[in-house]
Amino acid sequence: MDKSYKNVYITTPIYYVNDVAHIGHAYTTIIADMLARYSRLTGLDTYFLTGTDEHGQKIEQSAKQRGRTPQEYADEISGKFRTLWDDFDISYDKFIRTTDEEHKIGVQKAFETMYNKGDIYKGDYEGFYCVSCETFFTEKQLVDEQFCPDCGKPTNIVKEESFFFKLSKYEDKLIKWYEENEDCILPRSKKNEIVNFVKGGLKDLSISRTSFDWGVKLPESINEPKHVMYVWLDALLNYITALGYGNKEENMNYWPAKVQLVGKDILRFHAIYWPAFLMSLDLPLPTHIAAHGWWTRDGEKMSKSKGNVVNPKEVADAYGLDAFRYFMLREVPFGQDGDFSQKALMDRINSDLGNDLGNLLNRISGMSGKYFDFKVNSVDVEKFHKKELDEVNEILENVESYIFNMQLNRYLEDIWKVLTIANKAIGDYEPWAKMKEGKTEEAMALVALITNIMAKVALLLDSVMPEKISKIADSLGIEINTDTYNKLIVNKELLDETTITKVEQLFPRIEEVLLEQASTADVSKAEPEEKAKAKIDQKKENDEESDNLITIDQFFETTLKVGTIIEAEEVPKSKKLLKLQVDLGEGKNRQILAGIKEFYDAKDLVGTQACVVANLKPAKLMGMLSEGMLMAARDENGLSLIRPETPKKSGTKIS
Ligand code: MSP
């Protein structure tokens, strides 16, 4: 192992508290946990950070919708994340919340430092803001002049006084960093996207807001009480405030981070803004920013509205936490998207875990028990199995290099190659035949070879499946610790004499999916679609997240009316927009811009009716005012406007 560094700091993104944890959050956290456990086992001083991101307009809005204060709401959801990670035995050293006092002090200190350096100035921001992604966009970046290019939701027009960070100043320095540090962003394909983006030119970044309150105030020395910090500045700084930055600095010796894990959707913030902020603070940059792909379900993005979100706790409870961890780490090459299905998980459990790993352990206890009263010694392994030992050591020598390069599935694939060598050796050397022939030494050498391979594998899999590996270790009579790691892995030594204990089947075979399909939204092909859909609907009704339901009063906050389309024309230069004059019975028509050009000819719409959201704040699209929104439904066959079944008077209320 490369010991050129002493301290290893691993971070996950901090999770927004507007949603409960799903498989995507679990994925990031499990990867980080694996790295941290591995690093600790090798003897490195390791610090592992996770936590929750609690400020910003999105959280403020979510809390309001539920009639709660942002703090109450954040407390509840943050608590749920923490409980889940505790249930999952995630070995974090610190769980940070951006509402922690120490964090806020650190963030203000950082702001002040950047300001004093001349990297922050005051100006006016005018542009578009996606509350869901908490991201600013220029008009050019929007999709169809209105929608967020990342999540597809409508953006808001923002015009307010703001402080700006001189991101443009760091363009060349960032490019130099990318060039000089080949693996600073992993995987490399993702790095190329970032480098190209930065080479395209960086604009200064708006880093304060005045239109809402739920955020860290600017430092008092700046005397701008109206401003709160942009949530991404606040959030990114958690990685250093967690170590005491701007405060007691008690753990700053862990900085810079070894690996900062993120999902691909938030790589831009971490690979551009974050290093620029660090440069401004004169702090060193992380070794790796590693972006993983997204988990989908049946090839579809998971979302609450589709009811297809995979609940990690349910999956772990049904199939076992360690199996779930193994599946997530093995199934998809880091950086690529993965698709969750119970079938794929079952296959991994039955084949990799049950057959290759679990059965091998049973064979060790079976053979050692039958022939040697459970006592195994390694004295003759070198003599009879040098070839196998060399093969195993050669593979294991290289697996370590995969870890911090985030080639975690290759790490596991190679460990499975080693298990194959062990399983194959049993068939090749037939210890039962050796015993019959009286070649006891050879039979013992074979059993000891397998036991040693299992012990080495156990050490390397401890970070992946800590609970099951502790059972394997008990069975082999070994301890999983740095000393054993150094002896068996680093120094390639063999076990001293050991006594095997019988254990129960570690990964019993699973014949049928264990979860109601709807609850993981894994609709099996065998199941009639209708039945599955009914289950999903039922699940939605029963969903314990009933706090997503709205009251009738909340529903009536939206005014829906029947509108008659009086005029319709195409908006020049727009692929999507039609400009409509709609009569809502108000004496004066409303101008509404609707993104339906691909589906309707303007002339066919005149005289027809549609349901209109009538109390929407007017917005400008392509410089034109839009005073409402037509309701429509869209699926793979196209889009249809929602209309009354029989004509109704213009302006009739819909309820
Ligand atoms: N709060 C920000 C991060 C700030 S870090 C300074 C945030 N939070 S999040 O809760 O929305 O997302 C956290 C992580 O979960 C991201 O890395 C994101 O990529 C990951 N995932 C969310 N959905 C996912 C999948 N469906 N699949 C895999 N990971 C996904 O962004």
User: Ligand 1 centroid to 533 CA: how many Å?
Assistant: 28
- Residues 86-105 have pLDDT tens digits of 999 999 999 999 999 999 99
Distance 13 CA to ligand 1 centre (A): 7
- For residue 404, the 8-state DSSP code is T
Q: Are residues 356 and 470 in the same domain?
A: yes
CB 556 within 8 A of CB 613: no
> Helix, strand, or coil here: 47?
strand
Rounded CA separation 124/160 (Å): 6
CA of 28 to the centre of ligand 1 (A): 8
Q: How far is CA 640 from the centre of its chain?
A: 35
Same domain, 623 and 479: no
DSSP letter (8 states) at residue 147: B
Together in a domain, 365 and 476 = yes
pLDDT for the residue 521: 37
Instruction: Give the per-residue pLDDT at 553.
Output: 53
For residue 29, is it within any domain?
no
Residue 619: enclosing H or E segment and its boundaries?
Answer: strand 619-621
> Is the pLDDT at 548 greater than 50, yes or no?
no
For residue 565, the model assigns a pLDDT of 95
Whole-number pLDDT of residue 517: 58
Residues 13-21 have a mean pLDDT of 92
Is the CB–ligand 1 distance for residue 51 below 6 Å?
no
Three-state DSSP class for residue 583: strand
Q: Tell whether ligand 1 has an atom less than 6 A from the beta carbon of residue 24.
A: yes
From the CA of 13, give the closest atom in ligand 1.
5
Q: What is the mean pLDDT of residues 564-584?
A: 90
Give the per-residue pLDDT at 301: 78
Q: Measured in angstroms, how far is the CA atom of residue 135 from the centroid of ligand 1?
A: 14
DSSP 241-290: HTTTTTTT-TTGGGPSPSEEEEEGGGHHIIIIIHHHHHHHTT-PPPSEEE
Residues 474 and 341 in one domain: yes
Which pLDDT value is given to residue 20? 84
**For residues 63-71, average pLDDT:** 94
Ligand 1 neighbour 13 (Cβ under 6 A): yes
Q: How far is the CA of 235 from the centre of ligand 1 (A)?
A: 13
Q: What is the pLDDT of residue 383?
A: 97
pLDDT of residue 545: 32
Residue 537 pLDDT class (50, 70, 90 cuts): very low
Residue of higher predicted confidence among 528 and 485:
485
By most ligand atoms within 8 Å of CB, the mutation choice from 28, 97, 292 for ligand 1 is 28
- Is 578 among the domain residues? yes
Q: Indicate whether residue 309 lines ligand 1 (CB < 6 A).
A: no
The sign one gets for the Cα dihedral 532, 533, 535, 540 is positive
Distance in angstroms (rounded) separating the CA atoms of residues 14 and 19: 12
611 assigned ligand-binding residue? no
* Pair (490, 572) in one structural domain: no
pLDDT at 5: 64
**CA 198 to each of CA 171, 201, 270: distance values in angstroms, whole numbers, following the listed order:** 7, 5, 13
> Which of 228-237, 426-435, 573-582 has the weakest average pLDDT?
573-582
Whether 184 has a binding-site annotation, put simply, is no
Please state the rounded mean pLDDT for residues 517-531. 38
User: Is the pLDDT confidence value at 544 over 60?
Assistant: no
Please work out whether the CB of residue 228 comes within 6 Å of at least one atom of ligand 1: no
* 652 CA from centroid of ligand 1 (Å): 42
Q: Is residue 174 part of a domain?
A: no
> 439, 472, 499 — which closes off a domain?
499
In the predicted structure, residue 523 carries a pLDDT above the cut 90: no
Tell me the mean pLDDT in the region 466-471.
98
Q: What percent of the chain has pLDDT over 70?
A: 93
What is the band of 556 on the pLDDT scale with cuts at 50, 70, 90? low
Q: Are residues 557 and 487 both part of a single domain?
A: no
Average pLDDT over residues 300-324: 89
Return the number of other C-beta atoms located less than 10 Å from residue 103's C-beta: 27
Pocket test for ligand 1, best of 15, 238, 270, 298 (most atoms within 8 A of CB): 15
Distance 26 CA to ligand 1 centre (A): 10
Of 223, 226, 228, 225, which Cα lies nearest the Cα of 206? Answer: 228
Residue 265 in contact with ligand 1 by CB distance below 6 A = yes
Q: Which of 437, 466, 499 is at the close of a domain? A: 499
List % helix, strand, coil for the chain (3-state, nearest 5). 45, 20, 35
- Determine whether the shortest distance from the Cβ of 346 to ligand 1 is under 6 A: no
Residues 162-183 have pLDDT tens digits of 999 999 999 999 999 999 999 9
Kindly tell me the burial class for residue 391, based on how many C-beta atoms sit within 10 Å of its own C-beta (0-12, 13-18, 19 or more): middle
Is the distance from the beta carbon of residue 266 to the nearest atom of ligand 1 less than 6 Å?
Answer: yes
Summarised one tens digit per residue, pLDDT across range 346-359 is 999 999 999 999 99
How many CA within 13 A on the CB side of residue 359? 15
325, pLDDT greater than 90: yes
Residue 487 lies in a domain: yes
| Residue 419 within any structural domain of the chain | yes
Q: What was the pLDDT predicted at 638?
A: 81
Please say which residue of 460, 478, 499 terminates a domain: 499
Say whether both 604 and 488 belong to one domain: no
Task: Extract the tokens encoding 603.
Answer: 């002339």
Average pLDDT, the chain: 90
Give the tens place of pLDDT for each residue, 587-644: 899 999 998 998 899 999 999 999 999 988 777 777 788 899 999 988 767 889 999 9
Residue 134, pLDDT score: 87
CATH of the domain at 472: 1.10.730.10
pLDDT score of 538 more than 50: no
pLDDT tens readout for residues 109-166: 999 999 999 999 999 988 899 988 889 888 888 888 888 888 888 898 889 999 999 9
Distance CA(49)–CA(243), nearest Å, equals 9
Whether 542 has a pLDDT exceeding 50, the answer reads no
| 403, 464: one domain | yes
pLDDT score at 626: 87
Total domains present in the chain: 2
Q: How far is the CA of 263 from the centre of ligand 1 (A)?
A: 6
Q: At what angle do helices 312-319 and 321-331 cross, to 10 degrees?
A: 110
Residues 375 and 470 in one domain: yes
Average pLDDT over residues 370-397: 97
- Secondary element (H or E) of residue 402: helix 381-403
pTM of the full predicted structure? 0.79
Nearest CA to ligand 1 atom 25: 24
Residue 306 CA, ligand 1 centroid: distance in Å: 18
Mean pLDDT within 237-248: 97
> Would you say residue 615 lies in a domain?
yes
Residue 653 in any domain: the answer is no
Identify the CATH number of the domain in which residue 588 sits. Answer: 2.40.50.140
Domain limits at 564?
A: 550-641
pLDDT digits (tens, 9 = 90+) for 407-420: 999 999 999 999 99
Q: Which atom of ligand 1 is least distant from the CA of 263?
A: 19
Tell whether 407 and 481 lie within a shared domain.
Answer: yes
| Tokens 């203000």, located at residue | 108
| 329 and 427 co-located in one domain | yes
Confidence of residue 6 (pLDDT cuts 50, 70, 90): confident
- pLDDT of 251 above 80: yes
Q: What percent of the chain has pLDDT over 90?
A: 76
Sequence-separated (6 or more) residues with CB below 8 Å from residue 28: 12, 13, 261, 262, 263, 292
The verdict on 333 and 414 lying in the same domain is yes
Highest mean pLDDT among 80-89, 141-150, 506-515, 545-554: 80-89
How many CB atoms are closer than 10 A to CB 554?
12
Residue 286 included in any domain:
no
229 ligand 1 Cβ < 6 A: no
Closest CA to ligand 1's atom 30: 24
